Amino acid sequence: MTEEVRLIIVGFGVVARSLAGSLEARGEEFRRTRGIDFHLVAAVDSKSAAIDRNGLDVRELLRRKEETGRVGRRHLPATEIIEDTEADILVELTPANPLDAEPGMTHLKSAIKASKHVVTANKMPLAHEYPSLMASAESRGVQVRYSACVGAGLPILDFGDACAVSEPLLKVEGVLNATSNFVLSRMESDSSSFPEALEEAKKLGYAESNPWLDVDGVDSAAKIVIIANHTLKKSLTLKDVAIVEGIRRISPSRVKALREEGKKVRMVASVERRPEVRVLELPGGDPLSIDGACNVVKFHCKYSGERVVSGPAAGGVTTSSAVMRDLLRVGASIEGS
Amino acid sequence: MKVVMKFGGSLLASPGGIPRVSRVISKASKKMRVVVVISALDDVTDLLLHAATNARTWDSTQVIHFIDRIRGIHSQPLTEMELRQATYNEAVDHLEELLDDLKLTLSGVSILRELTPRSNDLLLSFGERLSLVVVSAGLRKAGIAIEALTGGDAGIVTDDSFGEASLEVTKTRRGVKEKLLPLLTKGVVPVVAGFIARSESGEMTTLGRGGSDYTATLLADAIAADEVWIWTDVDGILTADPRIVKSARVIEELSYAEAEEMGFFGAKNMHPLALAPARKAGIPVRIRNGFKPDRLGTLINPRERKSSAIAKSVALVGNVGIVTVSGETLVGRPGTAAKIFELLGKAGVNVLMISQSVSESNISAVVRKGSLERAASALSEGLSRVGISAGVKVEPDVSVLAVVGAGMQGTPGIAAKVFSAVAATGVNVRMIAQGSSELNISFVVASRDSEKAVKALHESVVLGK
């Protein structure tokens, strides 16, 4: 028995295109092995929308986006599509806006109000209003899944859940911004200055043209809010995080002096009581002193001590794999209902 | 010859602005000794004022985002100037250092949820200090020998009443002379961040509404400069707003008193406070266009030269309203006008014009439209509290026309001429006032008639047709 699961994708950047490609390529596999038949019934980008109740032709959609920069011919408001299109899951992939989390916030609220499940890779709505969004989702009986918001494809939240099964978690700390970590590693490996290393990160596609979200610590702050709420059951928002210091002012001479002492400087987000983001000088053997465009998170468990998850955490493809993970989980629960 | 040159923010922030300014300074510094004063880059002062009002409620993200906007405004010209790598790195380091301080200041405000006058001064000082980093890099690239100085570095000393600091005139004169004259002798151009100063205890203070222009004139006074040149993005002081009057042209020469009258009426030129040091020292001030450095602009000097025309300019101040108090109880009651002023002052309402009928049965005041309702309620409540029963009426859609010029002084029949020019257009005059200096006649007309009246007046009393 296959269950039809209808999706709306809002936001059609790198992650969405990678996801749509996978849905197309692996659709048959999911039908056969999971009994889930994904139909993309609407796709919305900032300029246009495409809707088809019977399922859009994904190959055609990707081709049009490639050629015209638009998914559709007409502009339609995303909220209207989210509320009025018959669908099971909203996949929210608009860019992170740290100031008011829009337009993602409105999309999430519209979906929850319209009793649709949500899978999102946009961390800002959750960072701004996690407690109230989750409460309203619960009251509507819908799921909100967001594993792609943290660690790109690295299953940090699942790892944290597993740690918490048998004992309380006392503290979480981690390197959560792959771009900044790449920049710092580069400064260590070839003595480049911050601007030079940042330029390198931009060339390789790790950093945005305006990287303040990454290097000034805001992205890490949003992620620690989500991790703390999810695994430590806190009720935090971005406003609660003290962003003490980003990596902009780290000089090559400081990096060099630390290297001679066998130490590394890393931007670490942590939460025990109060969440904060700051630059720490770590001994070389510390698991948090990871190199490259990676994330690492240390969960401090009450009885078993420190548990660490780490790995590469950048790029649209890895992020879309986390979205897919969430979609399959929601899909499986719909099938059972 | 010694000249203090001040460069405005819109000029500096215009595309290619800093190289353009560098050319002006480079050329001038070959012929004369130059002191440069700079403003904050274009919108930065407004952004800092916005931060001053709002930072109390900001979280970390908002502070960081604000810093990034400020960073963008300053790093763009730095990148565009194509500096040598070492110069660029040095400028970026300096910029980031200041941005770090700015972030600390704003974070402090957001954590304490309070902005003290002292932090307010510190906050506002960043505009000119950041601008100094960027402009200095550009001037060095142009091969000009400079020394970058904040107002405090240049010797400008104030008391420490933050927010409204007063200049310590004698100490400033001595300090500025000691600092700047040796540099000028060595052929170095001092580049001074305008608007900011230092208290005797070493704290950052600001010079208030006179701003960077004030810095320029007080430096000129201290070093006994021959002239002050205010470089801006317009041709000088104009006879009227060129958007309304096509035949508006540059006024070649003005007296300090005329310039102050025009400044008061909101013409885009110097604040009267800023002109004061030049006026006292008798130093001529020129308003010049940085985009057209071959033009002479407007010269403001001690001479009150009467031209053949009656007036030199017609200014229009829109967005004002009249509040009128009337009633028989006002008649023969001394102190009513004073009471009205007092009530408006307490309500924070600035009065632009006032007139009273001979019968004493009504008094009208012209105020900014934004404070009209506040003015009316302050008057009706305040007067009834002291037992004066009077009606309070407001007229919202009026404008003030101000005709300025020394030609009106001691010349009989001027008011009649001005009136007949307006009357000929069929526009009704609601109120009239002439300053005791006789340098200006102002009157109030309905806003819908104001442009017609400005054009007619410009034709007849400025151009003399």
Position A239 scores a pLDDT of 93
> Which band of pLDDT confidence, cut at 50, 70 and 90, is reported for residue B265?
low
User: Going by DSSP bridges, is the β-strand pair A89-92/A117-120 parallel, antiparallel, or unpaired?
Assistant: parallel
pLDDT band at A207 (very low <50, low <70, confident <90, very high): confident
Which of B54, B59, B89 to mutate against chain A (most A CBs within 10 Å)? B59
A336 has a pLDDT exceeding 60: no
- Sheet architecture: strand order including B440-446: B351-356, B362-368, B313-326, B391-404, B440-446, B429-434
For residue B413, pLDDT over 80 is answered with no
* Closest Cβ–Cβ partner in B59, B68, B92 for A238: B59
Secondary element (H or E) of residue B136: helix B117-141
H-helix or E-strand spanning residue B135: helix B117-141
pLDDT at position A41 over 80: yes
Quote the pLDDT of residue B168.
Answer: 94
Min Cα–Cα distance to chain A from B10, Å: 25
- Mapped onto helix, strand or coil, the DSSP state of residue A260 is helix
B60 and A221: CB-CB below 8 Å? yes
In Å, how far is A13's CA from the nearest CA of chain B?
23
pLDDT at A284: 85
Which of A99, A193, A221 is opposite residue B62, by nearest beta carbon?
A: A99
Tell me the pLDDT tens digit for each residue of B210-260: 789 999 999 999 999 999 999 998 888 888 888 899 998 899 998 998 888
Q: Is the pLDDT of residue B130 over 80?
A: yes
Nearest to B61 among A99, A193, A195 (CB): A99
Domain boundaries along the sequence of chain B: 2-233, 313-462
Tokens representing A304?
Answer: 């078993």
User: In angstroms, rounded to a whole number, what is the distance separating the alpha carbons of residues A115 and A109?
Assistant: 10
Instruction: Report helix, strand or coil for A285.
Output: coil
Q: What is the pLDDT of residues A164-188, one digit of tens each?
A: 999 999 999 999 999 999 999 999 9
Task: Tell me the percentage of chain A whose pLDDT exceeds 90.
Answer: 89
- Residue A14 phi, psi dihedral angles, 5° rounding: -60, -45
State the best of A99, A214, A215, A218 to mutate against chain B, taking most chain B CBs within 10 Å. Answer: A218
Per the model's pLDDT, the better-predicted residue between B109 and B163 turns out to be B109
**Pair B124, B162: CB distance under 8 Å:** no
* B35 vs B273: which has the higher pLDDT: B35
Compute the average pLDDT of residues A10-26.
Answer: 95
The token pair that represents B264 in the structure block? 């008061």
pLDDT at A21: 95
CATH number of B313-462: 3.30.2130.10
Residues of chain A in contact with residue B60, where contact means CB-CB under 8 angstroms, are 217-218, 221, 238-239, 241-243
Cβ of A243 within 8 Å of Cβ of B64? The answer is: yes
Question: In this structure, what token pair is assigned to residue B6?
Answer: 């001040």
Which are the catalytic amino acids of A? 223
Q: What pLDDT is recorded for position B431?
A: 85
CATH number, domain B2-233: 3.40.1160.10
Chain B partners within 8 Å of A246 (Cβ): 64
pLDDT value at residue B269: 60
Residue of A nearest to B88 (CA): A195
3-state secondary structure of B402: strand
pLDDT of B223 reads 97
Query: For A221-266, what is each residue's pLDDT tens digit?
Result: 999 999 999 999 999 999 999 999 999 999 999 999 999 999 999 9
Q: Per the structure block, which two tokens stand in for B439?
A: 């340098």
Verify whether the Cβ–Cβ distance B61 to A195 is below 8 Å.
no
Model confidence band, residue B423 (pLDDT cutoffs 50, 70, 90):
confident
Q: How confident is the model at residue B460 (pLDDT cuts 50, 70, 90)?
A: confident
Going from the N-terminus, what domains does chain A have, and what CATH number goes with each? Answer: 3-152+317-336 (3.40.50.720), 156-314 (3.30.360.10)
pLDDT at site B410: 74
Could you tell me which residue, A315 or A131, shows the higher pLDDT?
Answer: A131
The model's confidence at residue B272, banded by pLDDT at 50, 70 and 90, is: confident
pLDDT of B266 higher than 60: no
Specify the pLDDT at position B228.
Answer: 96
Neighbours of A170 (CB within 10 A): 11
Q: Considering only A148-152, A271-275, B303-307, which range has the smallest mean pLDDT?
A: B303-307
Omega of the bond leading into A275 within 30 degrees of 0 (cis): no
Which residue type does A43 have? A
Query: CB–CB of B60 and A212 under 8 A?
Result: no
Query: Which of the two residues, B264 and B23, has the higher pLDDT score?
Result: B23
Give tens-digit pLDDT for A54-96: 999 999 999 999 999 999 988 889 999 999 999 999 999 999 9
Q: Is the pLDDT of residue B61 over 80?
A: yes
In this predicted structure, what is the pLDDT of residue B74? 96
Band (B28; pLDDT cuts 50, 70, 90): very high
Q: Mutation test of the interface with chain B: which of A123, A192, A202, A212, choosing the one with the most B Cβ atoms within 10 A?
A: A212
Percent of chain A past pLDDT 70, that is, above it, reads 99
Write down the mean pLDDT value for chain A.
94
Q: Cα distance from B18 to chain A (closest Cα, Å)? A: 23
Average pLDDT of chain B, as a whole number: 89
Residue B267 has pLDDT above 60, yes or no: no
For residues B124-136, average pLDDT: 96
Size of interface A-B (CB pairs under 8 A): 40
With cut-offs at 50, 70 and 90, classify the pLDDT of residue B176. very high
Question: What angle, rounded to 10 degrees, do the helices at A194-203 and A178-190 form?
Answer: 120
pLDDT digits (tens, 9 = 90+) for A257-311: 999 999 999 999 999 999 999 999 999 899 999 999 999 999 999 999 999 999 9
Task: Identify which of A246, A99, A245, A124 has the alpha carbon closest to the alpha carbon of residue B62.
Answer: A99
Count other C-beta atoms under 10 Å from residue B389's C-beta.
Answer: 11
DSSP state of B324: E
Pick from A98, A193, A249: which is nearest to B61 by CB?
A98
Peptide bond into A98 cis (omega under 30): no
What pLDDT is attached to residue A335? Answer: 59
- pLDDT given at position B242: 86
Is the pLDDT at A99 greater than 70, yes or no?
Answer: yes
Average pLDDT over residues B322-334: 82
Residue B218 sits at the vertex; the CA angle it makes with B151 and B214, to the nearest 5 degrees, is 75
On the question of pLDDT at B306 being above 70, the answer is no
Residues of A at the B interface (Cβ-Cβ below 8 Å)? 98-99, 193, 195, 210, 212, 216-218, 221, 238-239, 241-243, 246, 248-249
Q: Are B272 and B422 in contact (CB under 8 A)?
A: no
Flag whether residue B64 sits within 8 Å of chain A, measured between CB atoms: yes
**pLDDT on residue B414:** 76
CA atoms within 13 A of residue A182's CA, in its CB half-sphere: 25
Radius of gyration of chain A (CA): 20
Which pLDDT score, from 0 to 100, does residue A261 have?
Answer: 95
Three-state SS sequence of B228-263:
EEEEECCCCCECCCCCCCCCCCECCEEEHHHHHHHH
- Whether B2-233 and B313-462 share one fold: the answer is no
Residue-by-residue DSSP string for B26-87? HHHHHHSEEEEEE---TTHHHHHHHHHHHGGG--HHHHHHHHHHHHHHHHHHHHHTT--HHH
